[in-house]
Structure 1
């Protein structure tokens, strides 16, 4: 079963058919302008804490992070764009003014977690994790939307899942959970979720996992359907969108005789595929050697011309050694996505923002990787001209 997140679990519970159309059928969703503001504010607050130990960065740096993440094309009018931009900058300034003077470094920001609940794989990003002492941590999730109260914090499944995930990851108890309402600069905090709430969420996970594995994707019509991007493709609304439900009949399955011929052809093609792959690799290797030795970037034959482009970059293979180097400096998170990202690792070797001794240590862990891109094309005849 695919890895779940708190949002995908919430979607399955709201409407299994919506979950199927998004995650199984992979139908595209319409852009959501209201997400843009939250994304930009999150980027600014991440910049406030990321890699900081002695104190916060300058306000201008935090505001720049907001501006970089804010997409002015997300809104239908220039007026709304400017209003949203002003709202986001005001929230960012207010957060800075409230937290800069008494700055406390975060244990982690935008922490990507991989964990299991009831045998189901989960993933999620925790906005901020604070250390509350020697063996306790606190979880903070930023909210930029409408108002809420403490009851939501006490019963929010997302926070329960993050509690389980961070305890698995860090080996420390969660002592505090908070939803931070950024527009009002108000933290809504509660103690860790108790066993009753944890078991309630575990039950949600078990129920959803059983349904997904059984292919139970029945629609659940409700008020949420008004904003669902997938309504035209939902069987509950087939009468409203008949054009999406008039399908061409599927071709008949092959007969035994046709299947026998297909099996032979498939086997022949696979055998040729292996042979051609080996030969192609050998020819490619020889061409790369030619381009490397001569410095030329094209080779022409009677029928084809192959153009080449060369790229050389750092590759760091020893993740554990790199982690030992970067974690004490608060830089390990910079190379993480869903896994350790080789592009982010490679960038460390030339990152002008890092001390030279750190860059040099990264280069000692790295090797130079050369890759070639070869582009074949037919040789033009004598009567052809190149535009």
Structure 2
């Protein structure tokens, strides 16, 4: 009698990925397809912004805060971290040094740093960090659904002993009016969908913390809503893929144009975009040939 050795179990093949989408890039395309193209395909640099830089500094301070023992998480300690966080950001992104002239803008820089410290102080009026122990901060979350990779970074993830999940995002601007709440929650629903698909649990709460107004916006999603949102993201990617096959990313003028760095290149403002990158067209065609149901370029993972 001969014995046979069972064949080793085959590892499942990884799911083919033909595209990648983050909440910010999906929002870009919804806002203005040409903005998406400039940022994600042309990868054109943008003019540094004092408001954006301040937001980055405040986010860094709040991330560092939860690296400390709970008893040390005080407003004084957090505010003291503003200057070092600004210096670290300038070292990582030297172009930000152009925001303030070292000699002429010294008072403006001091006022700007004070405004960042004020935002940090506002945070302590909304939450007591000594009573919180987040599961993670600046956590990368990602999942592949039908060949589309969804990925993004969550500011803070809280998980209760019972397993309830709260997704927290810090905003240094003002809380939106009710008519614009859906747009504000787009990013949070994106995270909720990825967490649901990876953990099998729908987050109990999505919480946006608006430091300028010392206010919060909270929302509780449900599975049916996230299923519909998933279809929305797939439709956005299909539209991106279709535009990539032709290079046809049209501008969508709105009040947001006033804050756009790309106005000199925008046809809606009398500008002329650069030629559509030939390698992007080639990538779109190749993806179309290998995945006829979902053509499109592989988006830079941002």
Establish whether residue 40 from structure 1 lines up as the match of residue 72 from structure 2: no
Alignment of 1:43-82 (within 5 A): 43-50=60-67, 52=69, 54-57=70-73, 59-70=75-86, 73=97, 74-75=99-100, 77-82=105-110
Change (3 A) 1:97 1:210: closer
Question: Counterpart in 1 of 2:30?
Answer: 13
Q: What is the rounded CA distance, in whole Å, between the counterparts of 2:72 and 2:178 in structure 1?
A: 29
TM-score (norm 2): 0.68
Highest CA radius of gyration, 1 or 2?
1
Once the two structures are TM-superposed, the CA of residue 25 in structure 1 deviates from its matched residue by 1.6
Establish whether residue 186 from structure 1 lines up as the match of residue 186 from structure 2: no
**Counterpart pick for 2:260 among 228, 236, 256:** 228
Once the two structures are TM-superposed, the CA of residue 99 in structure 1 deviates from its matched residue by 4.0
Question: Counterpart in 2 of 1:160?
Answer: 189
SS at match of 1:109: strand
Alignment of 1:116-195 (within 5 A): 116-117=144-145, 119-148=147-176, 156-193=185-222, 195=224
Structure 1 spans left out of the alignment, 5+ residues: 248-337, 339-387
Change (3 A) 1:227 1:92: closer
Equivalent pairs counted in the alignment come to 242
SS at match of 1:46: helix
Change (3 A) 1:60 1:28: same
Q: What is the rounded CA distance, in whole Å, between the counterparts of 1:210 and 1:100 in structure 2?
A: 43
Once the two structures are TM-superposed, the CA of residue 209 in structure 1 deviates from its matched residue by 1.1
SS at match of 2:131: coil
Once the two structures are TM-superposed, the CA of residue 110 in structure 1 deviates from its matched residue by 1.2
Tell me the C-alpha RMSD between the 2 structures.
3.0
Q: Is the CA contact (8 Å cut-off) linking 1:153 and 1:179 kept in structure 2? A: no
Question: Counterpart in 1 of 2:283?
Answer: none
Q: Is the CA contact (8 Å cut-off) linking 1:153 and 1:178 kept in structure 2? A: no
Question: Counterpart in 2 of 1:30?
Answer: 47
Once the two structures are TM-superposed, the CA of residue 7 in structure 1 deviates from its matched residue by 1.0
Once the two structures are TM-superposed, the CA of residue 129 in structure 1 deviates from its matched residue by 0.9
Change (3 A) 1:26 1:99: closer
Change (3 A) 1:212 1:173: closer
Alignment of 1:185-334 (within 5 A): 185-193=214-222, 195-196=224-225, 198-214=226-242, 215=244, 216-237=248-269, 240-241=270-271
Once the two structures are TM-superposed, the CA of residue 43 in structure 1 deviates from its matched residue by 1.1
Q: What is the rounded CA distance, in whole Å, between the counterparts of 1:94 and 1:225 in structure 2?
A: 30
Once the two structures are TM-superposed, the CA of residue 174 in structure 1 deviates from its matched residue by 0.7
1:57-110 superposed Cα distances (whole Å, 9 cap, x missing partner): 455542333222226843474343222211211222343466447522111111
Q: Is the CA contact (8 Å cut-off) linking 1:179 and 1:189 kept in structure 2? A: yes
Q: Is the CA contact (8 Å cut-off) linking 1:107 and 1:129 kept in structure 2? A: yes
Change (3 A) 1:16 1:63: same
Once the two structures are TM-superposed, the CA of residue 117 in structure 1 deviates from its matched residue by 4.8
Once the two structures are TM-superposed, the CA of residue 113 in structure 1 deviates from its matched residue by 1.5
SS at match of 1:141: strand
Q: Is the CA contact (8 Å cut-off) linking 2:21 and 2:148 kept in structure 1? A: yes
Q: Is the CA contact (8 Å cut-off) linking 1:149 and 1:188 kept in structure 2? A: no
Give the strand-richer structure, 1 or 2: 1
Change (3 A) 1:160 1:221: same
